[in-house]
Amino acid sequence: MNDILRGLEPEAVFRNFESLTRIPRGSGNEKGVSDFLFSFAKQHRLEVVQDPSLNVIIRKNATPGYEKSKRVILQGHMDMVAVKEDDIDFDFEKDPIPILIDGDMIRTKGTTLGADDGIALAMTMAILESKTIEHPPLTALFTISEETGMDGVINLKPGTVSGDVLINIDSEEEGIFLASCAGGINVDMTLPVSFIDPFEDNEFYEIIVKGLIGGHSGSEINKNRASAIVLLGRLLQILDEQAGIEISYVNGGIKMNAVPKSAKAVISVQKGNIDKLKEAIKNTQDIFRNEYSSSDSNIVIDIKCDKENQKILSRESKKKLIGILRVLPFGVQAMSADIDDLVETSSNIGMLETKADSILISSSVRSSVKSRKEEICKRIQAVGEITGSTVELNSDYPDWQFKKNSPIRDLMVKTYKDMFGKDAKVAAIHAGLECGYLIEKVGDIDMISLGPNMYDVHTPDEHLSISSTKRIFEFLCQVLKRMK
């Protein structure tokens, strides 16, 4: 496992990144990586603070000649989305990420890679440890739990971090500098349910919708990929209409901010309707594959026998559950009228979970227009009122509005042109960055976001371009050099 990335350049960036892959750091499990970063700073005799939330703030003096330059904050988050293939034996609480080199890409063996946002930490660490890179006064801000609600930046005490310019390293496309992002909110709907004894002469089956690509519920919501939870809702309605099923259990999705790749249900059906059930499943699979032939061509609906004598939902609970899954908003809700190809508003049904006496359906709502975000929440709340469900709004985070004047943006655009001979693109993103909260914590300073090419983040297919990482790191160092 050790030194898999040895020989890659920049050496310090990939050495630090590989070290990070050996530290479990799924959201909510950042104590180890936080302590690692704290020790790193101490080792290099840098001023460091580990706050009560486990955020880490490291300060480094300017190199000679840059003492009067503006202080730059380099910022990224230390947690990662922990998702794996169903058939992989892997424990995110203790196992190192199984990285490998595949041509120009760093990949894994069936797990998320954690380049989002481990590469930000690795690049910043390389700059902090360097004795040759020229730079202004620096503050490195590493936050926790960005992926599950931005808890780290929310709990950052105002005044703890100060600076004049903030460079967020949490973007995923080389040559695209982000200057604005959507705000978002998590919406938890809890449907109270009642269970009854199963009917006689019924057989139980487990049904799984799988084979979907999934993806980031913000940056990839416009790719029209299928949601396993949405498809499961459609399937259950079809099976109820054509085979008269009962439902014992539903479950799907792993993370709020990931389009679900799989979802399952345990159902029962009268023995006389088994052939109808299987025919309906086959026909529905064909329908799904046809509808998503371009984005999710490998959709599979598996069916297998399950144990009998399980409790089933009451008819009223079943009706409400299917209704909720059929009408909750999913996908792109509105496109921006001002920026071409930018999603303005979306909703992702991220998780579905059956509990003892309720079913939890969790959605992630995003919008760059606050009133549109509120409107989607109102629609979900209306569904809750009709079905007798409770609806809670959590982790509401602000948008980051575009600034007409930005010296750091101008500098980056010019530097990119000078270095690579082509124009960079300044854009907005339909995903949450911590910049909105950071405005509240460090002030409305000049901010921008960048990053190397990485693909299929938040999925087990996540991979990072080696050559792009090298170019972006060298570009970032050149920007710092020009801030004298």
Angle at 100 between CA 95 and CA 101, to 5 degrees: 160
Q: CA dihedral in degrees (270, 303, 247, 187; nearest 10)?
A: -160
Shared domain check, 200 and 146: no
State the Cα–Cα distance between residues 406 and 410, nearest whole angstrom: 6
Q: Write out the catalytic residue numbers.
A: 79, 146
- Return the pLDDT at 101: 98
In a domain, 377, yes or no: no
In a domain, 2, yes or no: no
In a domain, 367, yes or no: no
Predicted confidence (pLDDT) per residue in 334-352, tens digit:
998 877 788 999 999 999 9
Shared domain check, 168 and 96: yes
State the Cα–Cα distance between residues 239 and 90, nearest whole angstrom: 34
State the Cα–Cα distance between residues 434 and 89, nearest whole angstrom: 33
- Return the pLDDT at 397: 84
Q: Count CA atoms closer than 13 A to 381's CA, side-chain side.
A: 9
Shared domain check, 202 and 139: no
pLDDT over 80 at 54, yes or no: yes
pLDDT over 70 at 1, yes or no: no
Tokens standing for residue 167: 């460079």
pLDDT over 80 at 392, yes or no: yes
Shared domain check, 144 and 226: no
Q: DSSP per residue over 395-455, as a string?
A: EEE--B---S--HHHHHHHHHHHHHHSS--EEEEESS--THHHHHHHH-S-EEEE----EE
Q: Which range of residues forms the domain containing residue 116?
A: 11-182+399-481
pTM for this model (two decimals)? 0.71
Shared domain check, 65 and 35: yes
Q: What mean pLDDT do residues 101-129 have?
A: 97
CATH code, domain with 339: 3.30.70.360
Shared domain check, 202 and 129: no
Shared domain check, 403 and 339: no
Predicted confidence (pLDDT) per residue in 156-202, tens digit:
999 999 999 999 999 999 999 999 888 899 999 999 999 999 998 99
Shared domain check, 54 and 112: yes
pLDDT band per the 50, 70, 90 thresholds, residue 207: very high
